[in-house]
Amino acid sequence: MTRFQLIAIRLLLLALVLTAWQVLPRNGIINPLLLPPFSDVLSTLWEILGRPQVHEAILVTSAEVIVAFVIAVPLGAAIGVLIAEHDYAGQIFKPLLFYVFSVPKSIFLPMFILIMGIGFQQKVAYAAFSTLFIVIMSATAAVESVRTDHVLVARSFGATRWQILTRVYVPSMMPILLETLRISMIFNFTGVMIAEMYASRTGLGYLIANWGENFQLPQLFAGVILLAVVAIAFNEAVRVLEHRVSAWRT
Amino acid sequence: MANVSPVLSIVRDEPASAAIEVAGLTHVYDGRDGKVPALTDIAMTVGAGRFVVIVGPSGCGKTSLLMMMAGLRHQTSGTIRIQGRPIDNPDPERVGVVFQEASLFPWLTALDNIEFPLALRHAPKAERAERANQMLNLVGLQGFGARYPHELSGGMKQRVSIARGLVQDPPVLLMDEPFAALDEQTRMTMGHELLRIWSQTAKTVVFVTHSLTEAVYLADEVLVMSARPGRIIGRIAINLPRPRTYEMMATDIFGCLRDRIWQQIRKEG
């Protein structure tokens, strides 16, 4: 199947879903109060995009996502590398982290609110917290993916510890680290959304939760589309980076 | 094949200038059930420019011995001198190593892999490229410098690995079963190529292998090691003329030499 055909089929599927979204509520097969027709949602989307309140929400949410990401990823990576490289640290912390990792992070959200209130800091702190563990686990896996024979080769040519780190560890770990970036972005974004929807005065999550509570379904669906676009944009940004750095992989 | 003389003598006289001298080397490591002797009282001398092959059963410690000669592992006792000086740490000025898996860095091109040792020493870019290209030609890979390892065949990867081992022009080249993962035909070709490269560069080579045919084909001298704890139980001179040819493998003398090594190994087992 050619690339063109694949794209054509995908677009066709999308058109099919959107047509159903348009036609079914219009004809009353689905209650339009629960699923407003696609054209209504689109016009609502256009309308809310003009509201300053929505502009502010996009900015706040994006800022929270970026700041939380910039905190969680380097911190998690550093902890992960430390655990993987230190036998003792690994033996002590690995099982503990593994157990904490399996606990849903959202149950800690009320504590964040009690400690930090419901502002920007709390959103960032909670999102970073909910992302940290996946980064730690992945960074540990990345270190373990470094081949011992590669380290041996570098040592045989007289590499210093720093050279082994920068010229063997970093490039070896890069594929897993880049994948981690993308997965962490998903965790991170989810963390911000949950925090905003749970208790907040601004942000896209807050708006969507609010519209839902007030039964404003065209606004709710418009908000979902808007949020999907923002989330995909963040994800694609990370993917472009990933693609550039790992050109050598098949 | 008239000029192939039947010489099966044990090597007695050592060459005047030794590139590698191992004396009283013993290695013991901490296993689960206490101390495990791995190498016992190894003594060997390799003359400059000689091609010495070490054979022995799996787990006899021949790779460990090679890693110690490379300064990558430390023996419990005994001395190893390379070019007259003890080797405690890796010294790429004196020793180049070629590993079992070609162990090329998959994120670097063939040329960048060959340049890697020079890059570690911060050699100027122009010098690096020139030197790496020379090596690429030496191993017969001109035109393949821009390929990544996953775009090269098993034999080509080992050629790159040999080029990398030689790029700093060390007098000694240590090779740890470099062709073990290759198919039989490629393995024969690579053996032949290695001898060509060796004759052009005049290195001292220590080559570890499982293959007795490979050992006889390549070596000036074959050292036979026992099962663990590894000891050297035989030294067999291979006085076949050089350059070696594939036809020699079919000769009686070649078969005798291989058989003699096999007898030594079997006697131990």
Beta bridge partners of B30: B35
Chain A residues bordering chain B (beta-carbon distance below 8 Å) = 147, 149-150, 152-159, 163, 167-168, 171-172, 174, 248-250
Which of B90, B119, B121 has the CB atom closest to A156's CB atom?
Answer: B90
In a mutagenesis test of the A interface, which of B94, B105, B161 is the best target, namely the one with the most A β-carbons within 10 Å?
Answer: B105
Label residue B14 by pLDDT band (50, 70, 90): very low
Given a cut of 70, whether residue A249 has pLDDT beyond it is no
Which of A147, A155, A248 has the CB atom closest to B72's CB atom?
Answer: A155
Tokens found for residue B1: 């094949």
* DSSP type of residue B19: E
Say how far apart CA B46 and CA A36 lie, in whole Å: 86
Task: Specify burial of residue B30 (Cβ count, 10 A radius: 0-12, 13-18, 19+).
Answer: exposed
Give me the pLDDT at residue B9, please. 45
Per-position DSSP letters for B196-243, written without gaps between them: HHHHHHT-EEEEEES-HHHHHHH-SEEEEEPSSSB-EEEEEE----SS
Given a cut of 80, whether residue B13 has pLDDT beyond it is no
Interchain pair A248, B90: CB under 8 A: no
pLDDT in tens, B209-257: 989 999 999 999 999 998 888 899 999 999 999 899 989 999 999 999 9
Give me the pLDDT at residue A225, please. 92
Sign of CA dihedral B68, B74, B78, B79: positive
Interface check B101 vs A, CB under 8 A: yes
Mean pLDDT of B68-72: 94
Given a cut of 90, whether residue B268 has pLDDT beyond it is no
Given a cut of 70, whether residue B5 has pLDDT beyond it is no
Given a cut of 90, whether residue B164 has pLDDT beyond it is yes
Per cent of chain B over pLDDT 90 is 73
Q: How far is CA A41 from CA A36, A46, A223, A232, in A?
A: 7, 9, 9, 19
- Under 8 Å between Cβ of A140 and A84: yes
Give the domain ranges of chain B: 106-169
Say how far apart CA A231 and CA A228 lie, in whole Å: 5
CATH of A36-245, one of 3.40.50.10610, 1.10.3720.10, 2.40.128.630, 1.10.645.10: 1.10.3720.10
pLDDT in tens, A84-141: 888 788 888 888 888 888 888 888 999 999 999 888 999 999 999 999 999 999 999 9
Per cent of chain A over pLDDT 70 is 98
pLDDT in tens, A129-184: 999 999 999 999 999 899 999 999 999 999 999 999 999 998 898 888 888 888 89
Given a cut of 50, whether residue B12 has pLDDT beyond it is no
The pairing of strands B221-225 and B51-55 is parallel
- Under 8 Å between Cβ of A230 and A57: no
Given a cut of 80, whether residue B99 has pLDDT beyond it is yes
Q: What is the mean pLDDT of chain A?
A: 89
